[in-house]
Amino acid sequence: MQVRMHPSTLENFRVTGLTLTERRAIYAHLKEVGPRWKSMQADKMTERKWTWFKMMKQNFKENLERYQHHVKQYGPPGNHPYATRTNPNQGCPLIGKQCPLKADKIIDYDGDYGYTEGVEYEESNVKKAEKEDPGAKATREALELSREKKANERSESLRKHYKGKILLVSFANGSCESMDESMDRMEFLRTKWIEESLIRNEDTNDSHKKELSAFNDALNELKFALLGFAERSGMQVTGKRDANANNPDIRSPLELGLSEEFCEFSFDFFEEIQDRMDEMKTKDGRLKSTVSQLRELMDELHERNVATLKELETERPERIRKLKSRSEIKREIKKKIEAIKPIEEEEEILVLTKEDTGGRGGLMSSIAGRGGSGRGGLMSAITGRGGGGRGGLMSEIAG
């Protein structure tokens, strides 16, 4: 069996954020070709493929061991009780994606999607694109070029820092992607919450409950990501916290700069939640405790970022993305709402006009004779209805 591909195709694949099922599928797909790559390591290109495969296999084994240990401790899917406020000491205490079983079901593959009789590999087919608007095409191409340039610059910077060690570069790339995704997610949620607050007519107990639930879910999601970034920095995040148990921080300046941006985004995110809770005059002890814990962990991550940059004797890299303030987001949303209003008002006027004219109006009303008795106007003249027998034009034709 031959699998012809450039090693960079594998190296650019994500190694973080995959479910256990996805890791198992990738391993099952390549388990036969992996040993062949191992036996052909004399070739530099094949050696890179084997290095990637070995890393992917190791990640899969680590995730599988964690999953099996958790199942052994708290039970398998279908019989996996969770701890509750009334009974906090029984069942799985992990929330959201922290639980390996829930994390594996983020994308559920339990449905029957069919399967092939033999091994099949993806085929890339080039299809002629449909005609595209020149302006939209230019914008899309510029965006793609910018993304490609950014990805290449990032990869080159990481390769330089980790001296070409593919395994370390892959982990670093995955961490950067995860930080990007976390910041995108926080920006999306902030915008969504501010927009909802602007268009909401009034606050109710039900709306408050929904908001608090959304805050709780968002913080748990952020906590899961933050623990991964903290662990990546060498911080000891399991068991009782002990600074002496921390490992050396091997991250590159690029990762450190991105981590600082992540911290800044997170602090603004916490402020957004805290301000809204103050507006609602709510006293949710659990939420406040979660925010406090995350702030503490975030402060420690920030301190490690600064200390490592100092050790590397380098300045913090230039900011990659802009951090929008609450007032900026509000202004953008208000502009969007104001731009939509005239369109909605025009549609409303058109609907009212249609209703006032009683359906079909003008010439069609004259033809159809609606609004009068029977069918009148032109049709009455033609058919002669409304008079005795067949009259008018039809009478003349009939003789």
Q: How does pLDDT run across 211-240, given as a tens digit for each residue?
A: 888 888 888 888 888 888 998 899 887 767
Q: How confident is the model at residue 387 (pLDDT cuts 50, 70, 90)?
A: very low
More confident residue, 321 or 201: 321
Q: How confident is the model at residue 128 (pLDDT cuts 50, 70, 90)?
A: low
Average predicted confidence (pLDDT) for the chain = 78
* Token pair of 73 as six digits: 């401790």
pLDDT at 241 over 90: no
Query: For 323-343, how does the pLDDT look when each residue is reduced to its tens digit (9 = 90+)?
Result: 887 788 888 888 877 776 555
pLDDT average, residue stretch 106-127:
71
Lowest mean pLDDT among 133-142, 242-251, 352-361: 352-361
Lowest mean pLDDT among 6-15, 89-98, 243-252, 323-332: 6-15
Query: What amino acid occupies position 9?
Result: T
Percentage above 70 pLDDT, the chain? 78
The reported pTM is 0.54
- Look at residues 161, 217, 155 and name the one whose alpha carbon lies nearest to residue 192: 217
Lowest mean pLDDT among 275-284, 312-321, 365-374: 365-374
Residue-level pLDDT at 303 = 93
What's the Cα-to-Cα distance from 218 to each of 18, 53, 132, 183, rounded to whole Å? 20, 34, 38, 12
pLDDT average, residue stretch 122-148:
67
Residue-level pLDDT at 56 = 87
pLDDT average, residue stretch 77-88:
86
Q: d(Cα 84, Cα 74) in Å, to the nearest integer?
A: 14
pLDDT at 46 over 90: no
Query: For 147-178, how does the pLDDT look when each residue is reduced to its tens digit (9 = 90+)?
Result: 777 778 888 888 899 998 888 888 888 888 88
φ, ψ (nearest 5 deg) of residue 92: -70, 125
pLDDT at 13 over 80: no
Residue-level pLDDT at 259 = 93
What's the Cα-to-Cα distance from 318 to each of 171, 178, 299, 323, rounded to whole Å? 22, 19, 21, 13
Instruction: Report the interhelical angle of 326-356 vs 166-199 (nearest 10°).
Output: 50
Q: Which long-range contacts (CB under 8 A, 24 or more apart) does 157-161 make?
A: 157/252, 157/253, 157/254, 158/252, 158/254, 158/255, 161/252, 161/253, 161/254
Q: How confident is the model at residue 363 (pLDDT cuts 50, 70, 90)?
A: very low
> Could you give the angle at the alpha carbon of 340 between the alpha carbons of 337 and 344, nearest 5°?
125
